[in-house]
Structure 1
Amino acid sequence: MSDLKVDGFKSSEFIAALGITFAALSEKEKKDQINKVKGVFEIKLKNAEGTEETWTIDLKNEGKVTKGASPVGKPNITLTMADETFSDLAAGKTTGQKAFMSGKLKAKGNIMLATKLDGVLKTVKAKL
Protein backbone atom coordinates (compact mmCIF):
# COMPACT_ATOMS: atom_id res chain seq x y z
CA MET A 1 0.00 0.00 0.00
CA SER A 2 3.03 2.27 0.07
CA ASP A 3 2.16 3.11 -3.55
CA LEU A 4 -0.49 5.40 -2.01
CA LYS A 5 2.17 7.60 -0.39
CA VAL A 6 3.38 10.60 -2.36
CA ASP A 7 6.34 12.75 -1.35
CA GLY A 8 5.30 16.29 -0.55
CA PHE A 9 1.78 15.28 0.52
CA LYS A 10 1.36 15.05 4.28
CA SER A 11 -2.11 13.55 3.82
CA SER A 12 -0.77 10.62 1.82
CA GLU A 13 0.45 9.03 5.08
CA PHE A 14 -3.13 8.89 6.33
CA ILE A 15 -4.45 7.79 2.93
CA ALA A 16 -1.92 4.93 2.91
CA ALA A 17 -3.07 3.98 6.44
CA LEU A 18 -6.64 4.06 5.15
CA GLY A 19 -5.67 1.66 2.35
CA ILE A 20 -3.92 -0.69 4.80
CA THR A 21 -6.91 -0.59 7.14
CA PHE A 22 -9.37 -1.49 4.36
CA ALA A 23 -7.07 -4.28 3.13
CA ALA A 24 -6.97 -5.73 6.67
CA LEU A 25 -10.76 -5.77 7.11
CA SER A 26 -12.56 -9.09 7.00
CA GLU A 27 -15.00 -9.59 4.13
CA LYS A 28 -17.89 -8.99 6.55
CA GLU A 29 -16.36 -5.73 7.86
CA LYS A 30 -15.75 -4.58 4.27
CA LYS A 31 -19.35 -5.36 3.31
CA ASP A 32 -20.57 -3.48 6.40
CA GLN A 33 -18.53 -0.40 5.39
CA ILE A 34 -19.76 -0.63 1.79
CA ASN A 35 -23.39 -0.96 2.96
CA LYS A 36 -22.96 2.05 5.27
CA VAL A 37 -21.41 4.35 2.68
CA LYS A 38 -22.42 3.08 -0.79
CA GLY A 39 -20.22 5.48 -2.71
CA VAL A 40 -16.97 6.21 -4.51
CA PHE A 41 -15.01 9.26 -3.32
CA GLU A 42 -12.42 10.88 -5.55
CA ILE A 43 -10.10 13.02 -3.42
CA LYS A 44 -8.08 15.69 -5.27
CA LEU A 45 -5.42 17.35 -3.17
CA LYS A 46 -3.04 20.23 -3.90
CA ASN A 47 0.09 20.63 -1.78
CA ALA A 48 1.90 23.84 -0.80
CA GLU A 49 4.02 23.69 -3.98
CA GLY A 50 0.89 23.59 -6.14
CA THR A 51 1.29 19.94 -7.18
CA GLU A 52 -1.98 18.01 -7.49
CA GLU A 53 -2.62 14.33 -6.77
CA THR A 54 -5.76 12.20 -6.80
CA TRP A 55 -6.85 9.19 -4.74
CA THR A 56 -10.04 7.14 -4.91
CA ILE A 57 -11.81 5.62 -1.92
CA ASP A 58 -14.15 2.93 -3.25
CA LEU A 59 -16.81 2.11 -0.68
CA LYS A 60 -19.35 1.04 -3.26
CA ASN A 61 -17.75 -1.93 -5.02
CA GLU A 62 -14.49 -3.19 -3.52
CA GLY A 63 -13.81 -1.37 -0.27
CA LYS A 64 -10.33 -0.18 -1.12
CA VAL A 65 -8.19 2.89 -1.75
CA THR A 66 -6.30 3.49 -4.99
CA LYS A 67 -4.06 6.26 -6.28
CA GLY A 68 -5.36 8.13 -9.29
CA ALA A 69 -8.78 8.67 -10.79
CA SER A 70 -11.55 6.19 -10.09
CA PRO A 71 -10.83 2.84 -11.79
CA VAL A 72 -14.53 1.89 -11.56
CA GLY A 73 -15.93 4.72 -13.65
CA LYS A 74 -17.30 8.07 -12.57
CA PRO A 75 -17.04 8.69 -8.80
CA ASN A 76 -20.19 9.55 -6.83
CA ILE A 77 -18.44 12.60 -5.41
CA THR A 78 -15.22 14.47 -6.12
CA LEU A 79 -13.72 16.41 -3.21
CA THR A 80 -11.08 19.02 -3.99
CA MET A 81 -9.02 20.66 -1.24
CA ALA A 82 -5.55 21.55 -0.05
CA ASP A 83 -3.36 18.81 1.39
CA GLU A 84 -3.38 20.72 4.68
CA THR A 85 -7.20 20.73 4.79
CA PHE A 86 -7.38 16.95 4.33
CA SER A 87 -4.75 16.52 7.05
CA ASP A 88 -6.93 18.61 9.38
CA LEU A 89 -9.98 16.49 8.48
CA ALA A 90 -8.09 13.26 9.11
CA ALA A 91 -6.76 14.55 12.44
CA GLY A 92 -10.21 15.68 13.54
CA LYS A 93 -9.13 19.34 13.75
CA THR A 94 -12.00 20.32 11.45
CA THR A 95 -15.08 18.73 9.92
CA GLY A 96 -16.06 18.40 6.30
CA GLN A 97 -18.96 20.77 6.90
CA LYS A 98 -16.70 23.49 8.36
CA ALA A 99 -14.18 23.07 5.53
CA PHE A 100 -16.96 23.26 2.93
CA MET A 101 -18.63 26.30 4.50
CA SER A 102 -15.30 28.15 4.72
CA GLY A 103 -14.52 27.43 1.06
CA LYS A 104 -11.55 25.16 1.83
CA LEU A 105 -13.37 22.10 0.43
CA LYS A 106 -15.11 21.94 -2.92
CA ALA A 107 -17.51 19.11 -3.70
CA LYS A 108 -18.88 17.97 -7.05
CA GLY A 109 -21.48 15.21 -7.27
CA ASN A 110 -23.57 13.67 -4.48
CA ILE A 111 -23.05 16.25 -1.73
CA MET A 112 -24.92 14.14 0.84
CA LEU A 113 -22.30 11.43 0.40
CA ALA A 114 -19.64 13.89 1.58
CA THR A 115 -21.22 13.80 5.04
CA LYS A 116 -20.22 10.13 5.30
CA LEU A 117 -16.51 10.87 4.82
CA ASP A 118 -16.05 11.95 8.46
CA GLY A 119 -17.37 8.54 9.55
CA VAL A 120 -14.96 6.75 7.21
CA LEU A 121 -12.01 8.75 8.57
CA LYS A 122 -13.06 8.04 12.17
CA THR A 123 -13.25 4.31 11.42
CA VAL A 124 -9.64 4.36 10.31
CA LYS A 125 -8.48 6.43 13.29
CA ALA A 126 -10.17 3.92 15.59
CA LYS A 127 -8.26 1.04 13.93
CA LEU A 128 -4.87 2.79 14.08
Structure 2
Amino acid sequence: MSDIQEPGFKSSGILAVLAKVFEGYNDQEKKAQIKKTNGIFELQIKNAEGNQATWTIDLKNTGTIYKGTAKSKANVTIILSDETFQQLADGKLDGQKAFMTGKLKTKGNMMFATKLDGVLKATKSKAKL
Protein backbone atom coordinates (compact mmCIF):
# COMPACT_ATOMS: atom_id res chain seq x y z
CA MET A 1 0.00 0.00 0.00
CA SER A 2 2.89 2.32 -0.66
CA ASP A 3 0.63 4.40 -2.96
CA ILE A 4 -0.88 5.80 0.25
CA GLN A 5 2.50 7.04 1.49
CA GLU A 6 3.27 10.71 0.89
CA PRO A 7 6.79 12.02 1.64
CA GLY A 8 6.79 14.65 4.36
CA PHE A 9 3.54 13.45 5.94
CA LYS A 10 3.76 11.31 9.07
CA SER A 11 0.00 10.78 8.76
CA SER A 12 0.51 8.82 5.56
CA GLY A 13 2.36 6.10 7.49
CA ILE A 14 -0.54 5.84 9.93
CA LEU A 15 -3.05 5.72 7.09
CA ALA A 16 -0.99 3.03 5.30
CA VAL A 17 -1.11 0.89 8.46
CA LEU A 18 -4.88 1.45 8.75
CA ALA A 19 -5.28 0.47 5.09
CA LYS A 20 -3.41 -2.79 5.79
CA VAL A 21 -5.76 -3.47 8.72
CA PHE A 22 -8.76 -2.89 6.44
CA GLU A 23 -7.24 -5.24 3.85
CA GLY A 24 -6.78 -7.86 6.56
CA TYR A 25 -10.45 -7.81 7.52
CA ASN A 26 -12.43 -10.81 6.39
CA ASP A 27 -15.71 -10.09 4.57
CA GLN A 28 -17.72 -10.27 7.77
CA GLU A 29 -15.47 -7.81 9.65
CA LYS A 30 -15.43 -5.42 6.67
CA LYS A 31 -19.23 -5.53 6.36
CA ALA A 32 -19.59 -4.92 10.11
CA GLN A 33 -17.25 -1.89 9.97
CA ILE A 34 -19.08 -0.50 6.91
CA LYS A 35 -22.47 -1.05 8.56
CA LYS A 36 -21.31 0.58 11.80
CA THR A 37 -19.73 3.63 10.14
CA ASN A 38 -21.72 3.91 6.88
CA GLY A 39 -19.94 6.89 5.41
CA ILE A 40 -16.95 8.45 3.72
CA PHE A 41 -14.30 10.63 5.38
CA GLU A 42 -12.13 12.88 3.24
CA LEU A 43 -9.02 13.99 5.15
CA GLN A 44 -7.21 17.13 4.01
CA ILE A 45 -3.97 17.15 5.94
CA LYS A 46 -1.41 19.95 5.93
CA ASN A 47 2.18 19.23 7.01
CA ALA A 48 4.67 21.48 8.79
CA GLU A 49 6.02 22.77 5.45
CA GLY A 50 2.53 23.94 4.47
CA ASN A 51 1.96 21.25 1.83
CA GLN A 52 -1.46 19.60 1.69
CA ALA A 53 -2.40 16.05 0.79
CA THR A 54 -5.79 14.34 0.71
CA TRP A 55 -6.80 10.82 1.70
CA THR A 56 -10.21 9.14 1.72
CA ILE A 57 -11.49 6.55 4.17
CA ASP A 58 -14.42 4.85 2.42
CA LEU A 59 -16.51 2.98 4.97
CA LYS A 60 -19.69 3.21 2.93
CA ASN A 61 -18.93 1.29 -0.27
CA THR A 62 -15.54 -0.41 -0.34
CA GLY A 63 -14.04 -0.43 3.16
CA THR A 64 -10.76 0.99 1.86
CA ILE A 65 -8.38 3.90 2.33
CA TYR A 66 -6.81 5.61 -0.66
CA LYS A 67 -4.87 8.75 -1.49
CA GLY A 68 -6.88 11.46 -3.20
CA THR A 69 -10.32 12.98 -3.01
CA ALA A 70 -13.42 10.86 -2.46
CA LYS A 71 -14.62 9.01 -5.57
CA SER A 72 -18.20 9.44 -4.42
CA LYS A 73 -19.47 12.32 -2.27
CA ALA A 74 -17.83 12.36 1.17
CA ASN A 75 -20.10 12.66 4.20
CA VAL A 76 -17.53 14.94 5.78
CA THR A 77 -14.27 16.61 4.84
CA ILE A 78 -11.93 16.97 7.80
CA ILE A 79 -9.22 19.62 7.54
CA LEU A 80 -6.35 19.32 10.01
CA SER A 81 -2.59 19.37 10.44
CA ASP A 82 -0.30 16.36 10.15
CA GLU A 83 0.51 16.69 13.86
CA THR A 84 -3.18 16.86 14.88
CA PHE A 85 -3.98 13.70 12.90
CA GLN A 86 -1.10 11.88 14.62
CA GLN A 87 -2.41 12.94 18.03
CA LEU A 88 -5.91 11.73 17.12
CA ALA A 89 -4.56 8.38 15.88
CA ASP A 90 -2.44 7.95 19.02
CA GLY A 91 -5.44 8.69 21.23
CA LYS A 92 -3.64 11.70 22.74
CA LEU A 93 -6.27 14.11 21.40
CA ASP A 94 -10.03 13.80 21.30
CA GLY A 95 -11.71 14.79 18.01
CA GLN A 96 -14.25 17.03 19.72
CA LYS A 97 -11.54 18.81 21.70
CA ALA A 98 -9.53 19.29 18.48
CA PHE A 99 -12.61 20.82 16.83
CA MET A 100 -13.39 23.09 19.78
CA THR A 101 -9.81 24.40 19.91
CA GLY A 102 -9.70 25.04 16.16
CA LYS A 103 -7.14 22.31 15.40
CA LEU A 104 -9.67 20.51 13.22
CA LYS A 105 -12.24 21.94 10.79
CA THR A 106 -15.06 20.15 9.02
CA LYS A 107 -17.10 20.61 5.87
CA GLY A 108 -20.27 18.59 5.60
CA ASN A 109 -21.82 16.42 8.31
CA MET A 110 -20.06 17.50 11.50
CA MET A 111 -21.77 14.81 13.59
CA PHE A 112 -20.47 12.12 11.22
CA ALA A 113 -16.94 13.42 11.82
CA THR A 114 -17.22 12.19 15.42
CA LYS A 115 -17.22 8.61 14.08
CA LEU A 116 -13.57 9.01 13.00
CA ASP A 117 -12.41 8.54 16.61
CA GLY A 118 -14.22 5.18 16.72
CA VAL A 119 -12.70 4.06 13.42
CA LEU A 120 -9.19 5.01 14.57
CA LYS A 121 -9.65 3.25 17.93
CA ALA A 122 -11.09 0.08 16.36
CA THR A 123 -8.27 -0.22 13.85
CA LYS A 124 -5.56 0.89 16.30
CA SER A 125 -6.23 -2.13 18.50
CA LYS A 126 -5.61 -4.37 15.48
CA ALA A 127 -2.74 -2.35 14.03
CA LYS A 128 -0.67 -1.71 17.18
CA LEU A 129 0.08 1.83 15.94
TM-score range, shorter chain: over 0.9
How much has 1:115 moved relative to structure 2? 1.0
Q: TM-score when scaled to structure 2? A: 0.96
Q: 2:94, 2:67 → 1: CA distance?
A: 23
Correspondence list, 1:72-91, <5 A: 73-91=72-90
How much has 1:124 moved relative to structure 2? 1.3
Percent identity over the alignment is 57
How much has 1:97 moved relative to structure 2? 0.3
Instruction: Name 1:61's counterpart in structure 2.
Output: 61
How much has 1:45 moved relative to structure 2? 0.2
Which stretches in structure 1 are left out of the alignment for 5+ residues? none
Say which SS state the counterpart of residue 122 (structure 2) adopts.
helix
Aligned-partner residue type, residue 15 of structure 2 = I
Say which SS state the counterpart of residue 8 (structure 2) adopts.
coil
Q: 1:118, 1:17 → 2: CA distance?
A: 16
Instruction: Name 2:122's counterpart in structure 1.
Output: 123
Q: Which aligned runs of 4 or more in structure 1 are off by greater than 2 angstroms?
A: none
Aligned-partner residue type, residue 16 of structure 1 = A
1:76-125 deviations in whole A, cap 9, x for unaligned? 10000000000000011101001000000001111111111011001111
Aligned-partner residue type, residue 108 of structure 2 = G
Say which SS state the counterpart of residue 70 (structure 2) adopts.
coil
Q: TM-score when scaled to structure 1? A: 0.97
For the pair 1:103 / 2:102, whether they are aligned, the reply is yes
Aligned-partner residue type, residue 94 of structure 1 = L
How much has 1:74 moved relative to structure 2? 1.5
Aligned-partner residue type, residue 80 of structure 2 = M
Aligned-partner residue type, residue 118 of structure 1 = D
* Number of aligned residue pairs: 127
Instruction: Name 2:42's counterpart in structure 1.
Output: 42
Say which SS state the counterpart of residue 49 (structure 1) adopts.
coil
RMSD: 0.6
Which stretches in structure 2 are left out of the alignment for 5+ residues? none
